[in-house]
Amino acid sequence: MQKRKLNGLEVSAIGYGCMGLSQGYIPTPDKAEALKLIRLAYDLGCTFFDTAERYAMGANEELVGAALQPVRQEVVIATKFMIEAQEEEEARGDLPDRLRKKLEHSLRRLRTDHVELYYQHRVNKHIPVEEIAYCMGEFIREGKILGWGQSQATAEEIRRAHAVTPLTAIQNEYSIMERMFEKDVIPVCEALGIGFVPFSPLANGFLSGTIHAGTQFTGLDARRVITRFDRNNITANQPLLDLINRFAAAKQATPAQISLAWMLHKKDFIVPIPGSRNAARIEENQGAAAVVLADAEYAEIEAALAKIEIHGNRRDEDIAKLRLLK
C-alpha cells in the first residue's frame, strides 16, 4: 500500500471508515465478523482507521480498539468528539474539562493512551473555533493526541482554527458526486499544508455500481433519507455511472476503484476513507491505490464531469430524519 502524509502524519493512501460496522447501513455485521473485517483491511495494507464517539454510542470505538490492539503500534487511529447544538451554551462554561472527559472516554474505549488524530465532528456555530483549537493544542502538548482536525468545516473556520493550533486534517464529504469543497476548502488545505480526508468517497455506495432504480433500503439504513438514492435521482445520475463504467472497463478496474483513483490523482494530500461491511468490497477499495490514471485520462474524466448534472446529495438535516421513519 502506498503512503501519504496528512500534515506530517503518515497514513496509507486509502483508509478505512469503520462507522458502517455499527450503524448507518443495514444489516450491520455481528461483532466477530466486524473484527475480522477491520483486521482484513489492516492485512491488505491499510494503516488508517476512522471512528467516532458518536457511532453507536461508543460501541464502534470499542470495536476498533479491540480489533487493532494487537497491531496498535502499526496503525493510525482517528476518532471524533461531538458537542451537540443543544449543549453548546453549557459547554462553553467548562469546555476544557468537557473535552478532556470526552477524550479520556474515547481512549478507554479504544484501549490506547493516545490517538493520532482527533476531529471535531461538526464545527459548533456558537463555540469559537479558536477555543476548541486551544484545547486541542493542550492535548497535543500532553501527548494525548498527535494532531487534530475538523469535519465539514468551511475555509474560514479552517483558517481561524489553524492560526491557533495547526490542523492535521479536514474530514469533509467529498466524492466524484459531491464536489462542493473543491472551490475553497481543498485549496485552503493545500495552501496551509493540511491533509484532506474525504468521508463517503463512494457517495454512500452509490458509486459501487450496484445501485439501481429498484434498490430498496429499510430500517435504519441512512440511504432511505439521502436524496441521491431517490428513485428518480438514481435514474437521472446514470450519465455519471456510464462515464465511470467506461473507464472501469478500459482500466480493467471496478467503478468504485475508478472513483477512488480519480480522487487520489487530484491531490497527493487527499486520503479517502471508504467503509464497507463486505470482505470483497474492502479488498476492492484498498486495491484502488494500485489503479493509476494517466494525466490524459484524468483530464478526460474532468471534462466529462463538467457536462454532467448531479442529482441529490447527502445532508445532515436529512440524516436526522431517519429516526422519525418507521
- Among the four given CATH numbers 3.40.50.450, 3.40.50.300, 3.30.1490.20, 3.20.20.100, the one describing domain 3-206+261-291: 3.20.20.100
The sign of the torsion formed by the CA atoms of 132, 138, 141, 144 equals: negative
Tell me which H or E stretch contains 117: strand 117-120
Give catalytic status of residue 134 as yes or no: no
Phi then psi for residue 110, to 5 deg, are -85, -5
Please give the chain's pLDDT, 326 residues, in tens: 799 999 999 999 999 999 999 998 888 999 999 999 999 999 999 999 999 999 999 999 999 999 999 999 999 999 999 999 888 888 888 999 999 999 999 999 999 999 999 999 999 999 999 999 999 999 999 999 999 999 999 999 999 999 999 999 999 999 999 999 999 999 999 999 999 999 999 999 999 888 888 888 888 888 989 999 899 999 999 999 999 999 999 999 999 999 999 999 999 999 999 999 999 999 999 999 999 999 999 999 999 999 999 999 888 888 888 777 76
According to the model, what pLDDT value does residue 214 have?
A: 83
According to the model, what pLDDT value does residue 158 have?
A: 98
According to the model, what pLDDT value does residue 326 have?
A: 60
According to the model, what pLDDT value does residue 144 have?
A: 98
According to the model, what pLDDT value does residue 319 have?
A: 85
User: What is the DSSP code string of 20-74?
Assistant: GGTSSSSSPPPHHHHHHHHHHHHHTT--EEE--TTGGGGHHHHHHHHHHGGGGGG
Q: Are 77 and 51 in contact (CB under 8 A)?
A: yes
According to the model, what pLDDT value does residue 209 have?
A: 82
Q: Are 98 and 292 in contact (CB under 8 A)?
A: no
User: What is the DSSP code string of 144-159?
Assistant: SBS-EEEES--HHHHH
Q: Which of 16, 25, 42, 55 is catalytic?
A: 55
Closest by alpha carbon to 276, among 21, 78, 53, 1? 21
**Domain parsing of the chain, residue ranges:** 3-206+261-291
Closest by alpha carbon to 151, among 124, 181, 120? 120
